[in-house]
Structure 1
Amino acid sequence: MKSQDNLSPELKHYIASIKARSPSSIEDEKMQLNLEAVIKENSEIAEASSMRKGNILSKIKQKLSQISLVPLGGAVATLTLGVITLLLLSGPPRVAFASVVQQLEKITSMRFVSEMKAFDSVFSRFKVYYREPGLIRVESIPLTEGGENARTINVINTKKGQGVIFLPGPKFATPFSFDPKQAEDSSKNDPLYWFNAIKQYKGDVTELGEQVINNKTATGLAFKESGTHVTLWIDPSTQLPIKIIVSTATENNKTAFQMEADVEFNLPLNDELFSLEVGENYQQRNQED
């Protein structure tokens, strides 16, 4: 067995706790199966991240494979999963980022509230609701005089290529249609740009350490893609973002545009939020008007 001198104090603590247990044979068998599944899952993450041989997840696989020879119980399963989470979020940034992408691929819904700035001046606020498959609602309020009357609501079904623009102030509604394939080409002005950018990104990632965000200690990850900076603050308990910052800069490094959003995932969203029906209290206009 290889030396454990190079393990972190946290990992040594978990291993010591595991070795101190002596559970029943039934618990042992269940834990063996669970542990094998965990190792397999995290090995796949490491491979997806194109990490070099001997990376931290390969090491944890080796160590956990050795530990699995020791009788393990149900109570110890929590400790073992803690090791995985600890190393995913404190190990190489690319591995942590791959885990975030994996979780984003599984979400069923999302809600985020954001502010948009141009040269440090807030010009608009957004509420965005998203639900699988391909349902989007964007509520925007320009922060100008009379901005509330200029409030717009865009409801879009990207799978059907249909949507409606609602203007609650003057009570106008404009149904429209589009090629669903165009919905895949995300513009940087699209409030969901960051979401698709994260899932598609394959480059380097920078770790930003920890910061308290909305009363939670979050881990920061950042990357740059085609001149756009994306910063994610990740909740370690879910491995999902709780705050997103998307920005672009001028040549002299001044922020030209920034969107900052608080994000929630996998919450129930009412069907009415995504309804394309135009109520009787709205005057309907044609797309060409």
Structure 2
Amino acid sequence: MNKTTFRISQMDCSSEEQMIRMKLEGFDEVKQLIFDISNRKLEVYHTTDVEDIHQAIHELGLKDELKGTEEAELPIASDDEAQQRKILWWVLGINFTFFVVEMTTGWISNSMGLIADSLDMLADSIVYGLSLLVVGSTAIRKKKVAKASGYFQMALALIGFSEVLRRFFSDSETPLFRFMIIVSVFALLGNLVSLWLINKNQSKEAHMQASAIFTSNDIIVNGGVILAGSLVYFLNSKWPDLVIGGLVFAFVIQGAFRILKLSK
């Protein structure tokens, strides 16, 4: 058994992990993949030469670098997979619940910040769902699900971004800051619970590390919406809400592009 180590400079979340897994799914010689997202490292355990594997990874355009190949024994699979999946289902449920809550209250309160944050929650839900719901499916089905999810997220984000622009150039109402702050505080608490569940598992596996990164980013976004709501109150202006909404929509669009890469 051979172990080849790659450095993947642009591998910073589970989207890139899924891209690599799908790309190498048809390689019978690949026996196991071990991801270290924090260090941008991938270890491939395989039985034949690495040239074809390296070429497949290189085609993804993630700035890969082959660090070396050595003989090694195949690692024993982790026995806590069921616990990890249970935690990810909880995190998925929390994210999707707050997507619905924030989208609804965002329209009621006229807050683009809440609407954008809801789509950020949806983006994470899609990534978790892709990892959990299509396990064991064919590569073709996985790519179809990724493509549909990516386009759906892209469409919602573009509609939201266009609404931000419309409100910038029109006399739209000032959002209800109380809704922004209260709902975002609850979303923040939900993400803190998610992060606690993930960290409690103490897993070093890539998908759990990526989930922690996603959730930490969500906490920052929640704080941004709370800050925007406070500024709306003190300035009696719609601009803080539109600025934070536009920034979050930009991140959601970037996430949609990453998901769409999975379908290629």
Q: Same fold (TM over 0.5)?
A: no
Q: Which has the larger radius of gyration?
A: 1
What TM-score results when the alignment is normalised by the length of structure 2? 0.26
Bigger helix share: 2
**Structure 1-normalised TM-score?**
0.24
Structure 1 or 2: more strand by fraction? 1
